[in-house]
Structure 1
Amino acid sequence: MPHAVDISNNFGIIAGFIQNDPQERVKYSPIIYILNFLSSNRHPIVIHQYIPIATNGTWQDLLSNADANIYSAKYDMSISINSHGDVLVGMQHINRVFLFSVNVSNPTQLTYISRNTNSRSLGNGKSVAWLDNGNVAAILVNIYSLSYQWSSSQIYFYDMQSSIYNSNSTPLSVFPNYHQLLPESFSPVFINIISSTTSLTLMDVNGNLLIFNPTPPGFYPSIPATGSIPIITVSEACPLGMYKDQTGINDCILCPTDTKNSGNATIQCTPCAPDAFCSLGSVSEISQSALEIIEQVIAYPKSPETTIFDEILIQNMFHIGLGHCLLVSPLFWTLIVASLAILIVIIMGMLKFFVRHPKCAQIRKRIQWIFKKTDLIGEGELWVGGLVSFSIVVLVSCAYAFSNAYLKQYPIETSTDSYFACDVSIRNAKFETHLQTLTIPPSETEQKMFNLLNEQRLSLNIDFINTFINCDVISIQALFGNTWSTIRWSTCQNINSILSLSIPLPYKHISIQIILAQVQTIGALRVGVSGDKYEEDSYKLKKLNFYKSFSKNESVLAQTLLVSLALTKVINETLSMKDEKSDFSGIYIPTYTIDLNSLFLSRDQYIRSTSQTILLSIVLTETPYYVKNQQQPIAKQPEIVFHNVLFTVACLKIFGLIFILYKLIFKPIYHSLCQTVFRYRQEHKDNSEEIIGNF
C-alpha cells in the first residue's frame, strides 16, 4: 500500500505499508523501496528496501497499525530527493524523518544515514522538501496527540551540509516565530510544502498558499499583512543581535556568544572585546560591571572561643610569636628587661669578686641602695628585688595598655584592626543570633525598629542587559487584591544597551508584571530593591540597595519570566557599654527564588518561540520570621579595672613567693656553700703558713 513516492532521473523511492502475517501483533509495517530505472528492460525494478524498526520499550514499539489498510491522514508519508542523491522520508505516524543516501550514477542500494524523532507525538515529517540545491531541508512538523488531535504546525529548516541531521540537531530557523507571524487570513494548520530549487510553497488546511521567496544575505522573508492570497514574502533586514550570511528562505540566526550585531552589519556578527559581556544574540558590548551583584548584609560574626576577660588577658600577656606577634608580646619585652637585670647582676658580681678598688665598692653599694628603693617585692629588703620589679612594671604596664585598647574595641562597627595584639581580629564583643517568628510580639524597645522597617518606602529596580528595547513599549501592572491595575515607573531609560526601570512599590507584599510589547534579544536580567535610610535617637534604618544579576552561558532571556523575591527583616541590637539604652539598626535581606532553566532559552528553544511580548512577573513577599542579632561587650570598664588590679597583685605575689623560696631555701644553701668555701680556703691558708713557718 504505497503512501508516498518521488523520482529522480535514475531511481525512485516509494514508502508505504506491507501486510504481515495475520497471527503477528503488528498487522502492517512501514517499508521503503528503491526502484532502479536503468534496467535493460526499461521497467523500474525494486532493488533494495528498508524497514523501520521501532526501538524496544518505546511507544512506537506498541503500535499495531491495524487500520493502516484504510486511508487515514495520520498515516500520510512524504518523500523528497535532491540532486546529490540524498533522500528524506517522513513518516508522521511514528514521528520520524529518515535520511538516506543513494549513488546517483549506480542506484543499487538505499543507504541509511540518520533519523530525527520529535518527542512523544505524531506529525513529524508530514511533508518534507529540499531547498538551496539540496543543502537545506524543510520539514513540516505538525504536533498531534496520539489520538491524532492537532496542536500546532511549524516548518523546521535544517542545514544538512555543515551539521549532522538527527534527533539532537538544532534547526537553522523555525516558522512561524516571533517576527515571522502568520497573517489572520492563513490557517495555523499546515498540510503540505512544495519546493523548487530555492523557493518554498506552504499550503494550509483551507488550500491557501504562502510562498517563501529567497532573500539575500542580511535579510529574511517577512510576511506582509496584505490579506491577499497567495501570500508572497518580502525581504526585511535582520533584527538586531541576528545575522544571515547566505541567500535562502530561512530566517536570520542569533549572533553566537562573544559576538554582536548592533545593526551596522547584518551579514556577519563582529567579535566583542575579551572582557566584555556578550551573550547569545548580543546587540552591544556590555561591561562586566553591569552584572555586579550588590549584597549589603554579611554573615553576623561568631563569638570568640574565649569570652572571659581573665583568659583573654593571660593569653595575650604570655604569648610569644613571630614578626608582629613578637613586637607586641608583653612577655618578650619583660624578658628583655629581665635580661638587662641579669646583666646588671653579673656586672655587680664582677665588681664584688674581681675588682678590689675601694671606689668600685662604693659604686656597687650605691647601686644596690638605689635598687633596694625600687624593690616592690621584698619591700626594700633586696636590691635584686628592685631589678625584678622593673620586669614586673613592664609586664603590668603592658597589661594596662592592652586592657585600655581592648576596651575601645567595641562595638565592631567602629573598631579597627587590633594591632596592639597578636590577633588583629580580636574584639571586645560577643554575639548572638536568633531566628524568631513574627507571630510573637516584639519587645517595646524593638517595636520602634519594626515600625521603621514596615514604613520604609521601597523601589523595585530592574535592568534588562544587552538589549535595544526602549521605554515606550513597556507597561507595568500590580495586583491589588484580585485586580491587576496599571502603575508607573519613576525612572526609565536605555543607556548603552541597558534598559533600566525603577518602580515605586505601594506595598511589600505585591505581585508586579512588567510587559515589554516588543520581542528582542536580552542577554541578562538584574533585579534589586532600594530604600532610603532614616535615623532617630538610637534607632537607625539602613539604606537599602541590593542587586542580583542572572545570566546563562550560550543562552538568551526567555519571553516568560518569573522571579520570586522574599524579604527578611534583620534587627541588630548593640548593648551599651555604660548600661544605657541599646542601639538598634535594621535592614531587609533578600532571598531570590528563580529557575535559570526556565529564565533562559538556548538558541534552539529561542528560534521556536512565537510569543509577541516579554512578560516578567516578580512576586514580592516577606518571610514570617526575622533575624535578631545581638552584640554585647565581653568586658566593661569596671570589670577590666578590677581584673587588672588582680593581675598586678597576682604578679607581685608570684614573684614575692619566689623571693620567699629564695630566702628560705636558696639563700641558706648559698650562705652554707659560701661558709664551706671560706673555711676550706682558711684552712688551706693556715696550712700554707704553717709549712712556711717550718722552713
Structure 2
Amino acid sequence: MIVITNYTFSTQNIQFIRANFAFTYQFNYVMSISIHDSTQQVLIGIPQSATTYLFSFNSTDLILIKTFNQPARSTSWIDNDGTQAALLLANVPTLPWAQSQVRLIDTTSGSVISAFPNNQQTFDQWTDTPPVFIRLATTHDNELMVQTTDGTVLLISSADAGYFSRSHDIYSPSYIPEVCPLGTYKSISGPTPCIVCPANTKSNNNGLLPTIQCLPCLNDSFCPLGSVNDVNISSIIDLSQAYAYLSSPSSTSFDDILIENIFSMQTTPIRCVLISPFFWSLITLSISFVILIIMASFYYSPGKKKHFQRLEYIFRQTDLIGNGELWFGGLVSFAVMVLIIFSFWFGSVFLKLYPAETSDNAYFACDSSLRNAQFSSGLQLLTTIKSDDEQPIFDMLDSQNFTLEINFVQTGFTCNDVFAQNNFGSYAVSFSLTNCILQPDNATLSVSISMPYHLMNIQLNLTGQSYIGGVYICLMGDNSTSNNSLYTVQQLKFCQLFSTDNQTISQNTEISFILTKTINITDTLDYNSASLYSGIWIPTSTYALLSDFLAYNQQGDYIRYLGTQHTLTIIFSETQFYVVNEQQPIVRRNEMIFHGVLFTTTILGLFALGFLVLKLTLITALKWIINRIIQRPPCCRKKIIEEPTENQTIL
C-alpha cells in the first residue's frame, strides 16, 4: 500500500532541529515506524522530540489520532486488535538490570500497562555494565524480542494466565514459565507480569498453583492490596500504655467530703438512701418523736406519771445539746450520736482507700469511685538534677532491655529475604535477627530483634518480588524491682499497626519512635515512710506517607513492579523531658482523728445553737399563746398560777 499524503512533524526541541542539518549518522536520531495492517494504524517514534505518534491511514489520508509523551527509539505492536504496543525507551534506565526500558502501553487510553525489565521478568547479566536496548520486534504470536548494543537478543515469551515469563537469551534451549508470586494474579495470557490482588481479595495459592483470579477475603480479615491469605484483624490490635493519669476529685478537703457524705441523701439508686447517715438520723428523730408522744400520754395519765419522771431523768442525762437543761434534747442527741459515730467510721474506712490503684470500691458512699487520693502531673527537663530518692528509677529505666518485634503482614517474603543493619550516620553495621518465623497463616513474617541500647536506627531490607500489606510493630520490655519494691519499672508492651487503606507499604518506609519516661510517685500515709516510685516508657510514633500511591497515581501503577527491595527504617529517640505523676492522700491518720473531733464539736455546737434559738423563739411564743390566746376556766388558770414550775417543766 502506498500512502499519498504527507505529515510535517514540528518540535521546539533544539537537538531535533539541529539534527536536520547533520551529515553523520547517529542512531539516537533514528525515527521508528511500526504498521498494524489489520487496523490500518501506524506508530511513529521520534526520540529527538520525546514523542510517539499514532496515526490511522488509508489510500489517501494519514490522520493523527493521538500523541504519547514517550521518547520511543523503537516501536512494535503486540496484539491483533491494535490496542497494545511496545515502546523502547533507550535512555530510561531500569536499574540494576538495564540502562533502557520497554514499556507496554494501551493505545486507547495512553496508560502504561507494564514495563520491562521488572522484578518478575529479569534476565541474566553477562557483563558488569547493564546493557542498552536498541531494537524492538515481535513474533507472529506477539512475543517480544529486544536487541542490546552487544548483539544479544532477549526473548520475552508469552505466558498463560496465572504464570509469568522470565526473559532469556533467544538461543536458550528451553523456557519454563513460573507461577505468579504470592499476592499477585494474572487473568490473561501474554508477555506481561502478574499484578497485585485488589483490596479485599487474596491469592491463597501458597506459591504452588497458578492464580488466575483472586479470592474474596473473610469479613474479619485484614485484607489490603496484594493480600496473600486471611489474617484475622483481632490478632493485630494496637496496644498502648499511655493512659490518662487520674485527676483529683472536685473536692480535696476531707471536711467537705465528710459533710457531703453525711448530709446528702440521693433518692436514686435506693442504695444511696440506705447508706445515708442523714437518712438514719431522720429515722432516729422519728423514733424520738414517737417516744415524745408516749411520754406526753404518761404525763397526762395520773397512774403513769412516775414512768414519765423516770424517762425524763434518763433523757436529761443523755442530753448532749443542752447539757441536761431540756429532756427533749436527750432524744435529739441520739440522732446527733448517729452522725458522730458515722463520721468516725467514715474516716476510718476512707483512710484505707489509698492508694487508688490498689483500693476497693467505696461501698460505704453513694459514689463508689471515692478515693482517699489526690493527683498532680507535670513535666520536668531531663537535665534537671535528680535527688537521691529519684535517681534509682531513672537508672532502672535506662537499663531496661527492649525487644523489638516486627510483623510483616500480608507478605510473601521469607526469612531468607530479610537483612538487618544498624545505621550510624553514614555507616551501617549488620546484625543477626534474634528470631524469624512465618506465622501459621502463611501471610505474616515475624522478626524479633534484641536491642542492646534504646536509641537505635534499625534498617530492615527485604529483597524479592513480594509486597507488604502492613507492618505491625511491637516494643516490649520486662518489669523489674529494687530496694524492697520501693522502685518498680513496669512491663512495656506497645504495639501498633502501620498501613494505608487498600494500599501496600511503600518501598522505602521510615517510622520514628519517640520514647518518653513517665515517673509515678506515690506518697505513703505515714510521713516517716519512703515514697514509692514506678516508671514506664511511653513510645509515640511518627511517620510520613506509608505507601507510594501518589507516585502510582502520577506515573502509573507499573512502577510498583520495578523495585526488588523494600526498606523499613525504624528510628528511636528520647524526648528532652519526662512526665511526673504524683499521688498523695487527702487525709492521713492523725488528720482524720483531728477532723473527726472537729466535726463532733461542730455538730454539737450547731444543734446547741438550734436549741437556743428554739428556746428563745418557739417556746416563748408557745407560752404567750397559752397565756394570752387560749381561754381557760378559772380553776385551770388558778392551777397554772399555783404550779408554774411544773408547767414550765412540761413545756
Normalised-by-shorter TM-score class: 0.7 to 0.9
Determine whether 1:547 maps to 2:495: yes
Determine whether 1:314 maps to 2:265: no
User: How far 1:287 moved relative to its partner?
Assistant: 1.3
- Which of 58, 76, 101 pairs up with 1:154? 101
User: How far 1:97 moved relative to its partner?
Assistant: 5.7
Determine whether 1:236 maps to 2:178: yes
User: How far 1:548 moved relative to its partner?
Assistant: 1.7
- Which of 167, 170, 189 pairs up with 2:132? 189
Root-mean-square deviation (CA, aligned residues, Å) is: 3.9
Determine whether 1:501 maps to 2:447: yes
SS in 2 for 1:492: strand
Q: Distance in 2 between matches of 1:683 and 1:108?
A: 145
Cα–Cα, structure 1 residues 303 and 174, in superposed 2: closer, same or farther, change >3 Å?
Answer: farther
What letter is aligned with 1:130?
W
Structure 1 counterpart of 2:640: none
Structure 1 counterpart of 2:118: 177
Q: How many residues align?
A: 614
- Equivalent residues of 1:212, 1:221 under 8 A apart: yes
- Equivalent residues of 2:262, 2:276 under 8 A apart: no
Q: Distance in 1 between matches of 2:303 and 2:99?
A: 120
What are the Cα deviations for residues 507-527 of structure 1, in whole angstroms up to 9, with x where unaligned?
222222323343422221122
In the TM superposition, what are the counterparts of 1:17-28 in structure 2 within 5 Å? 17-18=9-10, 28=11
Q: Distance in 1 between matches of 2:7 and 2:267?
A: 87
- Equivalent residues of 2:408, 2:446 under 8 A apart: yes
Cα–Cα, structure 1 residues 446 and 355, in superposed 2: closer, same or farther, change >3 Å?
Answer: closer
SS in 2 for 1:17: coil
Structure 2 counterpart of 1:280: 225
Q: Distance in 2 between matches of 1:365 and 1:141?
A: 124
SS in 1 for 2:615: helix
Q: Which has more strand, going by share of residues?
A: 1
- Equivalent residues of 1:127, 1:193 under 8 A apart: yes
Q: Distance in 2 between matches of 1:399 and 1:144?
A: 91
In the TM superposition, what are the counterparts of 1:654-669 in structure 2 within 5 Å? 654-669=606-621
User: How far 1:653 moved relative to its partner?
Assistant: 0.8
User: How far 1:632 moved relative to its partner?
Assistant: 1.7
Determine whether 1:260 maps to 2:202: yes
Cα–Cα, structure 1 residues 209 and 666, in superposed 2: closer, same or farther, change >3 Å?
Answer: same
- Equivalent residues of 1:510, 1:619 under 8 A apart: yes
**TM, length-normalised to structure 2:** 0.82
User: How far 1:245 moved relative to its partner?
Assistant: 1.4
User: How far 1:668 moved relative to its partner?
Assistant: 0.8
449-458 or 330-339: which moved more? Answer: 330-339
What letter is aligned with 1:645?
V
SS in 1 for 2:9: strand
SS in 1 for 2:622: helix
Structure 2 counterpart of 1:131: 78
92-101 or 234-243: which moved more? Answer: 92-101
Q: Distance in 2 between matches of 1:74 and 1:495?
A: 55
Q: Percent identity?
A: 32
- Equivalent residues of 2:30, 2:73 under 8 A apart: no
- Which of 601, 616, 620 pairs up with 1:649? 601
What letter is aligned with 1:682?
P
Structure 2 counterpart of 1:448: 392
Structure 1 counterpart of 2:370: 426
What letter is aligned with 1:581?
A
What letter is aligned with 1:17?
F
What are the Cα deviations for residues 468-496 of structure 1, in whole angstroms up to 9, with x where unaligned?
43323333333468753332222221122
Structure 2 counterpart of 1:631: 583
What are the Cα deviations for residues 538-582 of structure 1, in whole angstroms up to 9, with x where unaligned?
111222222222111221223333222232222222112212111
**TM, length-normalised to structure 1:** 0.77
- Equivalent residues of 1:291, 1:549 under 8 A apart: yes
Q: Distance in 1 between matches of 2:31 and 2:339?
A: 100
SS in 2 for 1:386: helix
User: How far 1:592 moved relative to its partner?
Assistant: 2.0
In the TM superposition, what are the counterparts of 1:368-383 in structure 2 within 5 Å? 370-383=314-327
Q: Distance in 2 between matches of 1:86 and 1:322?
A: 90
- Equivalent residues of 1:223, 1:232 under 8 A apart: no
Cα–Cα, structure 1 residues 569 and 344, in superposed 2: closer, same or farther, change >3 Å?
Answer: closer
Q: Distance in 2 between matches of 1:618 and 1:527?
A: 10
- Equivalent residues of 2:113, 2:558 under 8 A apart: no
Q: Distance in 1 between matches of 2:64 and 2:157?
A: 32
- Equivalent residues of 2:55, 2:62 under 8 A apart: no
User: How far 1:342 moved relative to its partner?
Assistant: 4.4
Cα–Cα, structure 1 residues 343 and 588, in superposed 2: closer, same or farther, change >3 Å?
Answer: closer
SS in 2 for 1:641: helix
In the TM superposition, what are the counterparts of 1:264-413 in structure 2 within 5 Å? 264-324=209-269, 327-328=271-272, 332-335=276-279, 337-338=281-282, 341-342=285-286, 344-345=288-289, 348-349=292-293, 352=296, 357-358=301-302, 370-413=314-357
User: How far 1:152 moved relative to its partner?
Assistant: 5.5
SS in 2 for 1:657: helix
SS in 1 for 2:125: coil
Structure 1 counterpart of 2:533: 584
What are the Cα deviations for residues 159-181 of structure 1, in whole angstroms up to 9, with x where unaligned?
67xxx725xx5x44332222222
User: How far 1:660 moved relative to its partner?
Assistant: 0.5
Q: Distance in 2 between matches of 1:178 and 1:576?
A: 65
What letter is aligned with 1:564?
S
Cα–Cα, structure 1 residues 406 and 352, in superposed 2: closer, same or farther, change >3 Å?
Answer: closer
